[in-house]
Amino acid sequence: MIDRFGRRVTYLRVSLTNRCQLACTYCTLPEEPRTVMQADEVERIMRVASERLGFRKVRLTGGEPTLRRDLPEIVARLDALPGIREVALTTNGLLLAKRAGELAEAGLRTVNISCDSLDPERFAELTGGGRLDQVLEGLTACREAGIENRKLNVVLLGGVNEGEIEAFVDLARREQVEVRFIEHMPMDAERTGKWRLSPRDVLKRVASKRGLVPLPTSADGGPAERFEVDGARIGFIHAMSNPFCDRCNRLRITAEGRIRSCLLTGGEVDLLAALRSGHDDERIDADLVALFEEAADLKPPIYDLQREGGISMRAIGG
């Protein structure tokens, strides 16, 4: 699907729940949604998106998607769709030690685990009581289950975890997992400037100590600037200081079934109302196509960080 600015949109991020076991420092807590999409509804949306509109990748997010008991069923349904080339998952990793096997069996091949500190006490403080050992066990379980593409997402927090950069690089080499350092995005006006730490400064620091070899841009048009260092793979995402809006290829669907055209700005359209309208299948599919096209045209040329005020990261599967 091509939006009005000529960007090819082929990637959907689908939030399956607003629930999460953690209360991370930079993540806001919305009220629990009254209605969330069911497995068959997620499958139908992705079938229409892939067959009629050319979407090729889907990432399941939350909240924390592993809290959904039917997550393996959802993965299997989406993996079976002929047009979908990749089903990915973003998770806090706490339940992966228990669930990696069944998810791999269902067809999951890509996992991104959020982990902002390798210090157990700091990790617990940042997450509101989370256990780092469980996350690392989940990372290992993914490898043992045969999940091939594993990444660790590290939000850079100035004055908090900037002293851990080399420890993450060492982990990337030891575990053969790609670590991606992500610039913090303040989701409300009060946090603008808080924890500021430029990925460019971190990149220069690593380069001065270890050297960096640039890697090719991701084939799916991903935002990360990627490098190899001492046998490790690392990436940098400059979400604030160098936005990648000009090549953004994604839409987001909230757990309540609403397409959000942009993480920060842009309108929303309601898919769930169309799905549950009671119309015949042909009409519902046509309505879904029209709603997707409307959402793509609502994608802004570049986001406006605070135009819409505070936005819940959990509500839109950041």
Annotated binding residues for S-adenosyl-L-methionine: 26, 63, 114, 185
Q: Using CA atoms, how far apart are residues 78 and 70, in angstroms rounded to an integer? A: 13
Q: Which residues are annotated as a binding site for GTP?
A: 13, 59, 90, 151, 250-252
- Tell me if residue 227 falls in helix, strand or coil: strand
Rg over alpha carbons for the chain, rounded to the nearest Å, is 19
Which parts are annotated binding residues for [4Fe-4S] cluster?
Answer: 20, 24, 27, 245, 248, 262
User: Please, are residues 93 and 138 in contact by the beta-carbon 8 Å criterion?
Assistant: yes
Residue labelled with tokens 């009254």:
34
Contact 269, 294 (CB under 8 A): yes
**Quick check: 274 and 280 in contact, CB under 8 A?**
no
DSSP letters, 145-180, are HT--EEEEEEEE-TTTTGGGHHHHHHHHHHHT-EEE
Which residue positions form the known binding site?
A: 13, 20, 24, 26-27, 59, 63, 90, 114, 151, 185, 245, 248, 250-252, 262
Rounded Cα distance, 1 and 239, in Å: 23
Return the number of other C-beta atoms located less than 10 Å from residue 118's C-beta: 18
